[in-house]
């Protein structure tokens, strides 16, 4: 099993930040509870806000919920072949307050593309990502592909684009990804790409 993540170790100004030694967990039914590892106790209310919460939505694409020999819920990420006790839906929680059913989304500078897309299924969608052979473009293309989309990596350098495709397929062999030449600085290249895309996908 992957090591449990202890919340409250990063410096943030969020009211949802947990004190040191606390951890956020979920039940089979999606209710959030809090484990105090210092005092070895659990409670339903957030230690700072006093609110009760539950996770919103289904598990992300490729995830499954299981229970260990002690009856504790854990989660299996079949795409990245890992397990964790941390519910991947904790970025999307709803306060247990029927008069205020707002969904809280917690993103910051460390949020990954995989976290942004969690819970979404893009099967049947076609996504074009420019500059997808490295950096943010690559992470975006990979995330869409691992969530079921047919992803076109539109790049100037086909060798590097093909290498990026291989890396994505290494993570999930069923991913639908392809590399296509596109140089946004050349109008002829843009026109050729658009014509080829329309002929194949429209």
Residue 112 pLDDT greater than 90, yes or no: no
DSSP string, the chain: -PPPPPSS-S----TTPPPTTEEEEE-TTSBEEEEETTTTEEESS-TTT---EEE-SPPPTTEEEEE-TTS-EEEEETTTTEEESS-GGGGEEEES-TT--PEEE---TT--HHHHHTT---TT-EEEEETTTSHHHHHHHHHHHHTT-EEEEEES-HHHHHHHHHHHHHH-TT-EEEEEE--TT-HHHHHHHHHHHHHHH-
pLDDT tens for residues 129-184?
A: 999 999 989 999 999 998 889 999 999 999 999 999 999 998 888 899 999 999 99
Query: Highest mean pLDDT: which of 24-33, 47-56, 90-99, 144-153?
Result: 144-153
pLDDT tens for residues 64-86?
A: 888 888 888 888 888 888 888 88
Please tell me the predicted confidence (pLDDT) of residue 15: 62
Residue 95 pLDDT greater than 50, yes or no: yes
Residue 110 pLDDT greater than 50, yes or no: yes
Look at the pTM and tell me if it is higher than 0.85: no
Share the mean pLDDT of the chain: 81
Domains and CATH numbers, the chain: 22-95 (2.20.70.10), 113-200 (3.40.50.720)
Residues 6+ apart with CB under 8 A from 140: 113, 129, 132
């Amino acid at each position: 099993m992957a090591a449990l993540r202890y919340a409250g170790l990063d410096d943030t100004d969020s009211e949802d930040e947990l004190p040191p030694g606390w951890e956020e967990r979920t039940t089979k039914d999606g209710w959030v509870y809090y484990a105090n590892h210092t005092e070895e106790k659990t409670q339903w209310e957030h230690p700072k806000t006093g609110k009760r919460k539950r996770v919103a939505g289904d598990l992300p694409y490729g995830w499954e919920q299981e229970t260990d020999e002690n009856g504790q819920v854990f989660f299996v990420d079949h795409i990245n072949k890992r397990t964790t006790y941390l519910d991947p839906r904790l970025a999307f929680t709803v306060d247990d307050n029927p008069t205020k059913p707002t969904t809280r989304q917690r993103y910051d500078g460390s949020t990954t593309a995989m976290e942004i897309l969690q819970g979404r299924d893009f099967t049947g969608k076609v996504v074009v990502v420019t500059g997808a052979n490295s950096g943010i473009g690559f992470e975006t293309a990979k995330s869409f592909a691992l969530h079921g989309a047919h992803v076109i990596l539109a790049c100037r350098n086909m060798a590097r684009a093909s290498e990026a495709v291989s890396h994505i397929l290494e993570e999930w062999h069923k991913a639908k990804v392809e590399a296509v030449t596109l140089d946004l600085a050349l109008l002829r290249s843009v026109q050729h790409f658009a014509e080829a895309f329309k002929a194949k996908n429209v």
